[in-house]
Amino acid sequence: MEQVIKVEGMTCGHCKSAVEGALSKLDGVKSANVDLENKNVTVDFDDSKVSLVDMETAIEDQGYDVEK
Amino acid sequence: MEQVIKVEGMTCGHCKSAVEGALSKLDGVKSANVDLENKNVTVDFDDSKVSLVDMETAIEDQGYDVEK
């Protein structure tokens, strides 16, 4: 399934890579694409393997705030 | 000697690390400190070992514009 997660604080290509990389490492995440302009990341994932909370934690661990 | 180099496009801690890291790798650079707010990096270097052009190139190679 696909989910758009709103994320605050991503400013540049490094931020994009950090968030996409952290999400992609999670088992069950098929793809993660950050849209810097719209301040979000679109994640395609298998919800039997990974939860929204897991993904939010991965983003927060990179130093960004998730809008819930 | 110490030089303040104006740099455009640094937005976050990743950018700070990228610029400081690239400069610190140059032989002759003793320290490099990015000031994100004031858009510059202060470099302490041995001008017999490294030139301003070398340092500017290192910054540009990270994807930032140097104001000359």
ipTM attached to this prediction: 0.71
Record: fold of A2-66: Alpha-Beta Plaits (3.30.70)
- Give chain B's count of helices (H) and strands (E): 2, 4
Residue ranges of chain B whose CB lies within 8 Å of a chain A CB: 9, 11-15, 18, 63
Pairwise CA distance, residues B3 & A8, whole Å:
34
CB-nearest to B15 from A9, A14, A63 is A14
Q: For all residues of chain B together, what is the average pLDDT?
A: 97
Mean per-residue pLDDT pooled into runs of 10, chain A (68 residues): 97 96 98 98 98 97 94
Pairwise CA distance, residues B22 & B62, whole Å:
8
Pairwise CA distance, residues B42 & B3, whole Å:
6
- Ordered strands of the A2-8 beta sheet: A29-35, A40-45, A2-8, A65-67
